[in-house]
Amino acid sequence: MLNVSKRFKTSSGLLPERVVIRPYVPWRARLLTIVLVCLLILMLSWGMYETGRRTAGIIDAGSLTKLSEPYHVATCLQKKRTQLCTQLAELTRQFQIVQTTNEDLTKQTRSLSKENNRLKEELDFFEHVMSGNTKIDNGISIHQFSLKKDAKSGVYRYSVSMVQGGQRPQDFKGSLKFFVNLRQNDQRKTVSLTNKEAEQSFSISFKFYHRIEESFKVPPDAIVESMKVQVFEQNDAQAKLTQTVEPT
């Protein structure tokens, strides 16, 4: 019983508190440490401020320089003028290329149309000859002669087809002359056409078939009433054939 009570007293008694022993630091040392820490923080803050200010100054100066250049009146006008001149020159060059291309296409279209009409007429002529519907007399004859008003003002197109019949005919050599009868200012006139060499005679040389298709232009106030063609054999001043046609 005694042992139990002793154990109980020992276990239920109060335990002593722990005691921590620290070295004594004078207040002057503490104050010096606080001052040093504050100075260090202040120096770091000042250094960061100076670095930020210099960086901001460089950026602001560069930005202001870049922004000031485009808004300078003389510089802006000069740059814009140069750009506009360059663009205008490029557009002008492209327009000239397109215009030249269109003109070439127009010329090619007219040439192809002219060639197509000629081939159609020749094909029609030879088909009639082969079928026996068209009889070709011996010697030279005018198979077809036409005069048409073009869509352009004052422009007329004419064509003449000639054939030569007979057994083994020789090449026909001669020339053609064209005369235009027109009315201008209530006056009738007769004008002779000239070729590219400014000659009134259009030289021809063929054996069986020959065709000419050309155009001429008259003043806007002139009206073409008719056109005449004359066929001359080489070294002969007398016309061998003559035919007149009215415009359609």
Same domain, 116 and 216: no
Same domain, 88 and 143: no
> Is 19 part of any domain?
no
Structural domain harbouring 165: 136-245
> Is 57 part of any domain?
no
Identity of the amino acid at 112? L
Boundary of a domain, candidates 96, 113, 135: 135
> Is 84 part of any domain?
yes
Boundary of a domain, candidates 135, 150, 169: 135
Tens of pLDDT, residue by residue, the chain (248 residues) = 445 444 444 444 544 555 555 566 576 677 777 777 787 887 877 778 777 766 655 555 555 455 444 545 566 667 777 787 778 778 888 888 888 888 888 888 877 877 787 777 777 766 766 665 556 667 888 988 999 998 888 999 999 988 887 776 788 999 999 999 999 988 999 999 988 888 888 999 988 888 888 999 999 899 999 999 999 999 898 999 999 999 98
Q: How many degrees, rounded to 5, is the angle at CA 161 between CA 227 and CA 181?
A: 5
CATH at residue 222 = 2.60.40
Same domain, 170 and 238: yes
Among candidate residues 175, 176, 179, 152, the one with its CA nearest the CA of residue 234? 175
Between strands 239-245 and 222-233, the pairing is antiparallel
> Is 10 part of any domain?
no
Same domain, 115 and 213: no
CB 136 within 8 A of CB 227: no
Same domain, 171 and 186: yes
Instruction: Report how far residue 198's alpha carbon sits from residue 204's, in angstroms, rounded to the nearest whole number.
Output: 16
Boundary of a domain, candidates 114, 135, 156: 135
Give the contacts of 178 (CB within 8 A, at least 6 positions apart). Answer: 158, 192, 193, 202, 227, 228, 229, 230
Same domain, 150 and 170: yes
> Is 5 part of any domain?
no
> Is 123 part of any domain?
yes
> Is 92 part of any domain?
yes
Tokens of 121: 């007429």
| Tally of domains within the chain | 2
> Is 14 part of any domain?
no
